[in-house]
Amino acid sequence: MAAMREMLGCVRLAATLLLTVTGACDRGVANDAQRPPAPVTGQWIWSASDSAVLARGRSTVPDLRAGVWVATIDWRGSAAAAALATSLGRPLDATVGHDAELVIRLEHSINESWRALPADSVAARLDERLGRVLRVVERGGPRHTVQLDYDAPVSRLADYAALLERLRRPGRSLAGRSLWITSLVAHLADPDYGKRFGPLVDGHIVQLFDTGDGYTPERAREVMARLNRAAIPFRLGLGAFERRLASGPTTHRAWFDIIPTAARSPWYRGMWIFPGGVDYQTYLPR
């Protein structure tokens, strides 16, 4: 009997150890599933000079991702006879990498289409045009992440969200595809920004150049507060170039200082850099 009791005790101990190890493994799997994806560092390509900057950038950032401007869509003509028009941009060639993202610019003139046509008609026309662009660019190859670059007026954010919802429906041009949109700091002032766009996109890229948002530490804190309130994945959109305006020089590069603070946010997913032909590696945190 003593030997049997000792054997049963060993069996119970082994079972307890097995459950403990299995539970720890299960928790590890769950934690891995809940862990956000690694942040991306990407560079936009809008010109041949940007392609050269990308090649140099990959010497110090080997996994630097390319965001290739492939088309611009705008609304041309009078209200009675206007139509969408497309200008093709840079080619999607082997130099950009298999993980390149496709940037499609929607010009400000798209705002006029809402005044001329019902929302369903605008969505149908834009859906047809986007589908055509993607077929031409991808040529039947793998589907790439799409970035829609559109400076929607703050007063049209609800319309823009409704448009995206239509374009994401089954059978439409952006259905089942990874989608990021650009946002402005002014958009994030809308307390419903996250509710409007969170269910529709993988995330947004907040543009911190050429928007009149000059850098100050106070402004940076305000931007971070808005990004965290929106509570959807974001990437920083940074400019490596500067302009000299009548109001004074821009402070685009100063916004690189926000990276360490942004990286502590649970919603941070990396950054995209618009080089304007300028090398930017020295501005990145080490």
Q: What is the per-residue pLDDT across 164-195, written as a single tens digit (0 to 9) for each?
A: 999 999 999 999 999 999 999 999 999 999 99
pLDDT of amino acid 115: 81
User: 157-167 and 119-138 helices cross at what angle (nearest 10)?
Assistant: 50
Span 114-162, pLDDT tens digits: 888 888 988 999 999 999 999 999 988 889 999 999 999 999 999 999 9
The stretch 98-111 carries a mean pLDDT of 92
pLDDT of amino acid 20: 46
Span 27-69, pLDDT tens digits: 454 455 567 788 999 999 999 999 999 999 999 999 999 999 9
Backbone angles phi, psi at 45, to 5 degrees: -125, 115
CA gap 259, 237 in Å, rounded = 11
Span 76-93, pLDDT tens digits: 766 555 577 888 888 888
Q: Which residues pair with 66 in a beta bridge?
A: 43
Angstrom CA distances, 98 to 65, 66, 105, 171, stand at 9, 9, 21, 25
The stretch 7-19 carries a mean pLDDT of 48
Strand ranges (E), the chain: 40-45, 65-76, 83-88, 101-106, 146-149, 179-184, 203-207, 234-239, 244-245, 248-249, 268-274
pLDDT band at 13 (very low <50, low <70, confident <90, very high): very low
The answer to whether the beta carbons of residues 47 and 277 sit under 8 Å apart is yes
Q: Which is nearest to 193 in space by CA: 236, 252, 234?
A: 234
pLDDT of amino acid 82: 58
Q: Report whether pLDDT(8) > 50.
A: no
pLDDT of amino acid 258: 96
pLDDT band at 6 (very low <50, low <70, confident <90, very high): low
**Cα 206–252–178 angle (5° rounding)?**
25
The answer to whether the beta carbons of residues 154 and 187 sit under 8 Å apart is yes
pLDDT band at 9 (very low <50, low <70, confident <90, very high): low
* Side chain identity at residue 213, one-letter code: D
| Candidate from 20-24, 48-52, 88-92, 273-277 with smallest mean pLDDT | 20-24
The residue to which tokens 């139509």 are assigned: 83
Q: Which residues pair with 175 in a beta bridge?
A: none
First-to-last C-alpha distance (Å) of the chain: 67
Angstrom CA distances, 234 to 13, 143, 191, 216, stand at 48, 22, 16, 20
| Candidate from 9-23, 31-45, 65-79, 249-263 with smallest mean pLDDT | 9-23
Angstrom CA distances, 51 to 39, 101, 260, stand at 22, 14, 27
